[in-house]
Chain A
Amino acid sequence: MAKKISPMDIYKLLPRLNCGKCGISTCLGFAAKLVERTAKLEECRPLFEEEKYRDSLAQLREILRPPVIEVRFGPPGREAVVGGKLVLHRHELRYMNPTILAIDVWDDIGEAELESRVRFIENFKYTYIGRELKLNALALRCRSGDPSRFQDLASKISKLTDLPIVLCSLDPEVLEAALLRIRDRRPLIYAATEGNWRDIAELAKMYRCPVVASAPGDLSKLRGLVKALNSEGLDDIVLDPGTFIGDGLAYTVNSFTILRWLACRQGDRLSGYPILAIPAVVWVDEEFKDKPEEAKWMEAVLTAMMITRYADIVIIHGVDVWQLLPNLILRENLYTDPVKPVSVEPGLREFGSPNDKSPLLVTTNFALTYFTVASDIESARLNCYLLVVDTEGLSVESSVAGRKLTAEKIASAMKEYRVSEKVSHRKIIIPGLAARLKGELEDLTGWEVLVGPRDSSDIPAFLAKYWKI
């Protein structure tokens, strides 16, 4: 297992001034937060401002170095944060820094296509349980092999957007041409390989950029490469163990797992870097090459598997919404904090301007259920009451099955939130998936129970047809 840190080890190295500049009154309290990873070292101002703490700072950085380090790229204020993982399994704590989704752009793309593609990537968003899901970065590929052309692309992109950029070429000259134009964007350089690493290391040092170490298909070589980059003083490294589809998939899944296991379980430093997956490889695979629809499908499938199995950043080519959507949602789901249930406060909510004749609906306090129902009510501009019952954050179907949503619970929520004072009628609408609670709820409350639709998108139609006072 990776080392366990004690707050006392941290405390000993802090200034111990109890100055409170970090927002916590004591250094010991701050130390505890550092161990829980709910505070950052940078919040201790004296540590950074005063020369005499330099050695302590270096030691603290070493002790607090996460099993997988955090690498940042992109312009200040809009950085992509990659890695920083503390655990192998999300249930052990939580996954930090959601997988960065980088979409490719290439240097012989047409002017109009370039602009529309970049605009799409920049503006794409999907609202899910009250959050905006977005794409995060651009991967610029040099297809032409021509430094000036690539430079041109980098310039154009930097005028169109300030999205974080990955510069992709194995030719140092090509990379340098682009770096000259967008060095202030601090792009991620892809990639240092066995063949070019000295030059790439020079570029990474000169332009102060993080770099991808790439050795597809050979973990020993990848480690050697990381060691060589370390020897040049470079530590902002992302690993590319190689993404393969088809019969190579077993290698990819295993090598990603080996790296993450070694980093999190055995404290292996050379494995302790974020991992890059390139689902875009599907597009050059023999089986999918000339079949764009199949390539999109398989790229989406591969992306999902890599998000689940430890990829900290992925490069994808297809931008059809149907491909992106499941992966944006999967990422959101897997990166939620498993300790905090995704729930909302129970209670009686009002939508629009309801009066005593307005419909009264019931739902659960699972965030997703609640936001789905709420958005359907809002978009139909309905005036109504929504009774949110505490189901311990479970959906309607699960809570009915698991007896977290029962007639008793609804009845007691009706009492607790005083629904009878809000409406003069005695009718309540329960979710279609909770239909079996109807009889018991009627017996318990004496109210008329209407069984609503199974999906909340049908609420407006349901009310139009059945709500009569």
Chain B
Amino acid sequence: MSMRRRDIGESFLEWLLKLLSESEEIEFEDFSLEASELQLDVTGVTPIIRPIMEAVKPEARVVELVEELPKPEVAFTNRISEVRIGATKSEGGSRSRVIVIGGEVTMPFYSFSAVNPNPPVVSGDVFDWKLPLPKPLRDAFGDAMDDPAEWAKLYVDKFAADMVTIELTSTDPSIKDTPIREAVKTVENILQAVDSPIMVGGSGDPVKDVELLVEIAATFEGERLLLSSIPSPEDRFKPIAEAAKRYGHNVVAWASLDLNLQRDLDRAILQILPPERIVIDPTSAPLGYGIEYAFSVMERIRIAGLMGDSELALPILSGTSNAWGAREAWLKIPELGPREVRGPLWETVTALTLLLAGCDLFIMMHPLAIKTVKQVISWLYGRWDKPVGGIPDWLGGI
């Protein structure tokens, strides 16, 4: 007896077993099957292994295991404003490119509902003095820390940061009390050294910051800098916001982990500047030191913004460098593993947690953390409806 090839399947098995039970002898032609799937005891005509046993039970036909997925009803009505940082020559600045953040129409990586237009970006954190930093960072920066312009170049050229943040903290009267004209010169050097958009931060001194940031705004008219940060009360944020308006810059509205305070501040600044000029910093408490507050405040702000609260429909910034303040990140404790990876991982996890809450711009330091965050963002902007590549064999493959 001979037979032709048929599709391997349960009907075939049924048919085969029927044949076997009726025949004395069988001969296979042009036929193949994977031995791992089937064992036949031809003499006894008894399938040994259970899957086969199950398969040949008449009531156990293979059913198509497909159940249609309901459509997730994600319906946000508002759009987060878009902020453009940096201006090219044709726009009145000197940058080679402009960075656009914000513009979201849905929660982060809810691509099944809509795809948000602008992938979040990373800004390299530069200081205007050689501040004490943990060793893994000092090793990564080397001599570049001696010169803010070199440091900025390192971020852009070697670490592939999208932009640079210059923190003029040495202007703080309790640090070095660097004169404002010197700080202006530092910013100028950085603008010369790199062609990416720039964010400029003050020291946090309530009096000197106003004078400093107003001076920076006037000196670099048209560069569309991002000026940071302007908190309450009015005598701090008003002159800076007005200078930003007059000279064409953006500002960072900073509140301390409080949605209502953030909204009040935004409302006041919105009297001066349009939403396309405001980025908010609700404060990034790092992993282990209150990240849950930062995460939930950001998530709530983004949800409120998407649901129509125009005072919160603004792009969000994270001072992720804060992660290096966590002692688990830098303390030399051998039983916790090498701090060369502990620190960067701390910074990375802080950034990615806030990325999933809705953060748009990360100010970061370690090259490995910057690289990983950029990599993950690009992966997350990939195809979402089907996995790319095969199913990983972790069961037997590790």
Alpha-carbon distance A394/B297, docked complex (angstroms): 14
Closest beta carbon of chain A to B303's beta carbon, Å: 7
Alpha-carbon distance A143/B393, docked complex (angstroms): 10
Interface presence of B64 (CB below 8 A) = yes
For window 222-274 of A, CB contacts with B under 8 Å fall at 223-228, 242-254, 257-258, 261-262, 265-266, 268, 270
| Interchain pairs with CB closer than 8 A, number | 249
Taking a contact as CB atoms closer than 8 A, the residue among B111, B292, B337, B352 that contacts A90 in the complex is: B292
Alpha-carbon distance A372/B331, docked complex (angstroms): 13
Kindly supply a per-residue 1/0 record for chain A positions 186-229, scoring 1 wherever the CB is within 8 Å of any chain B CB and 0 otherwise.
Answer: 00000000111111000000000000000111011101111110
Alpha-carbon distance A309/B331, docked complex (angstroms): 29
B residues in contact with A248, CB < 8 Å: 382, 387-389
Q: Whose C-beta in chain B lies nearest to the C-beta of A309?
A: B356
Contact yes or no, B74 A268, CB < 8 A: no
B residues in contact with A327, CB < 8 Å: 349
Kindly supply a per-residue 1/0 record for chain B positions 384-397, scoring 1 wherever the CB is within 8 Å of any chain A CB and 0 otherwise.
Answer: 11111101111111
Alpha-carbon distance A228/B65, docked complex (angstroms): 7
B residues in contact with A168, CB < 8 Å: 395
Closest beta carbon of chain B to A87's beta carbon, Å: 12
Taking a contact as CB atoms closer than 8 A, the residue among A220, A245, A254 that contacts B109 in the complex is: A254
A residues in contact with B356, CB < 8 Å: 253, 305, 308-309
Interface presence of B93 (CB below 8 A) = no
Which stretch from B176-184, B190-198, B338-346 is at the chain A interface? Answer: B338-346
Interface presence of A413 (CB below 8 A) = no
Kindly supply a per-residue 1/0 record for chain A positions 38-49, scoring 1 wherever the CB is within 8 Å of any chain B CB and 0 otherwise.
Answer: 000000000000
Interface presence of B12 (CB below 8 A) = no
Contact yes or no, A89 B389, CB < 8 A: no
A residues in contact with B256, CB < 8 Å: 394, 398, 401-402
Q: Whose C-beta in chain A lies nearest to the C-beta of B338?
A: A322
For window 342-369 of B, CB contacts with A under 8 Å fall at 342, 345-346, 348-349, 352-353, 356, 368
Interface presence of A18 (CB below 8 A) = no
Interface presence of A435 (CB below 8 A) = yes
Which stretch from A68-76, A330-338, A344-352, A416-424 is at the chain B interface? Answer: A330-338
Which stretch from B46-54, B141-149, B152-160, B265-273 is at the chain A interface? Answer: B46-54
B residues in contact with A228, CB < 8 Å: 63, 65
Closest beta carbon of chain A to B251's beta carbon, Å: 17
B interface majority secondary structure: loop
Q: Whose C-beta in chain B lies nearest to the C-beta of A337?
A: B292
Kindly supply a per-residue 1/0 record for chain A positions 152-186, scoring 1 wherever the CB is within 8 Å of any chain B CB and 0 otherwise.
Answer: 00000000000000001110110000000000000
Interface presence of B217 (CB below 8 A) = no
Closest beta carbon of chain A to B210's beta carbon, Å: 16
- Among B299, B348, B395, the one with the most A-chain Cβ atoms within 10 Å of its Cβ is B395
Q: Whose C-beta in chain A lies nearest to the C-beta of B356?
A: A308
Taking a contact as CB atoms closer than 8 A, the residue among B300, B327, B335, B391 that contacts A455 in the complex is: B327
Contact yes or no, B289 A395, CB < 8 A: yes
Contact yes or no, A326 B349, CB < 8 A: yes
A residues in contact with B65, CB < 8 Å: 194, 197, 215, 221, 224-225, 227-228
Contact yes or no, A333 B69, CB < 8 A: no
Closest beta carbon of chain A to B213's beta carbon, Å: 17
Alpha-carbon distance A281/B328, docked complex (angstroms): 27
Taking a contact as CB atoms closer than 8 A, the residue among A199, A257, A457 that contacts B327 in the complex is: A457
Interface presence of A280 (CB below 8 A) = yes
Q: Whose C-beta in chain B lies nearest to the C-beta of A89?
A: B299
Interface presence of A33 (CB below 8 A) = no
Contact yes or no, A366 B391, CB < 8 A: no
Contact yes or no, B395 A330, CB < 8 A: no
Contact yes or no, B387 A242, CB < 8 A: yes
Closest beta carbon of chain B to A461's beta carbon, Å: 14
Interface presence of A60 (CB below 8 A) = no
Interface presence of A464 (CB below 8 A) = no
Q: Whose C-beta in chain A lies nearest to the C-beta of B258?
A: A402
Taking a contact as CB atoms closer than 8 A, the residue among B112, B288, B295 that contacts A254 in the complex is: B112
Closest beta carbon of chain A to B233's beta carbon, Å: 10
- Among A170, A251, A342, A435, the one with the most B-chain Cβ atoms within 10 Å of its Cβ is A251
Contact yes or no, A284 B393, CB < 8 A: yes
Contact yes or no, B384 A322, CB < 8 A: no
Given contacts A224-B65, A304-B353, contact A199 B392 (CB under 8 A): no
Closest beta carbon of chain B to A222's beta carbon, Å: 8
Interface presence of B174 (CB below 8 A) = yes
B residues in contact with A194, CB < 8 Å: 65
Taking a contact as CB atoms closer than 8 A, the residue among A199, A268, A301, A333 that contacts B288 in the complex is: A333
Interface presence of A128 (CB below 8 A) = yes
Interface presence of B70 (CB below 8 A) = yes
Interface presence of A11 (CB below 8 A) = no
Contact yes or no, B295 A334, CB < 8 A: yes
Q: Whose C-beta in chain B lies nearest to the C-beta of A253?
A: B109
Q: Whose C-beta in chain B lies nearest to the C-beta of A402?
A: B256
Given contacts A251-B384, A262-B72, A308-B352, contact A91 B112 (CB under 8 A): no
B residues in contact with A336, CB < 8 Å: 292
B residues in contact with A284, CB < 8 Å: 392-394, 397-398
Given contacts A198-B54, A247-B389, contact A278 B394 (CB under 8 A): yes
Interface presence of A317 (CB below 8 A) = yes
For window 45-79 of B, CB contacts with A under 8 Å fall at 49-51, 54, 60, 63-70, 72-74
Interface presence of B17 (CB below 8 A) = no
B residues in contact with A442, CB < 8 Å: none
Alpha-carbon distance A319/B73, docked complex (angstroms): 40
B residues in contact with A89, CB < 8 Å: 296, 299-300, 303
- Among B54, B74, B283, B391, the one with the most A-chain Cβ atoms within 10 Å of its Cβ is B391
Contact yes or no, A91 B296, CB < 8 A: yes
Q: Whose C-beta in chain A lies nearest to the C-beta of B339?
A: A322
Interface presence of A300 (CB below 8 A) = yes
Taking a contact as CB atoms closer than 8 A, the residue among B51, B60, B285, B345 that contacts A297 in the complex is: B345
Given contacts A90-B296, A266-B72, contact A224 B290 (CB under 8 A): no
Kindly supply a per-residue 1/0 record for chain A positions 88-131, scoring 1 wherever the CB is within 8 Å of any chain B CB and 0 otherwise.
Answer: 01110000000000001010000000000000000000001000
Interface presence of B325 (CB below 8 A) = yes
Closest beta carbon of chain A to B308's beta carbon, Å: 17
Interface presence of B28 (CB below 8 A) = no
B residues in contact with A397, CB < 8 Å: 325
Contact yes or no, B345 A368, CB < 8 A: no
Given contacts A172-B51, A199-B51, A258-B69, contact A246 B389 (CB under 8 A): yes
Given contacts A221-B65, A329-B328, contact A258 B72 (CB under 8 A): yes
Interface presence of A385 (CB below 8 A) = no
Alpha-carbon distance A389/B389, docked complex (angstroms): 55
B residues in contact with A321, CB < 8 Å: 335-337
Q: List 5 A-B contacts (CB under 8 A).
A: A254-B384, A305-B356, A326-B349, A334-B292, A401-B256
Nearest 5 pairs of A and B residues by beta carbon: A322-B337, A224-B65, A402-B256, A223-B67, A247-B388
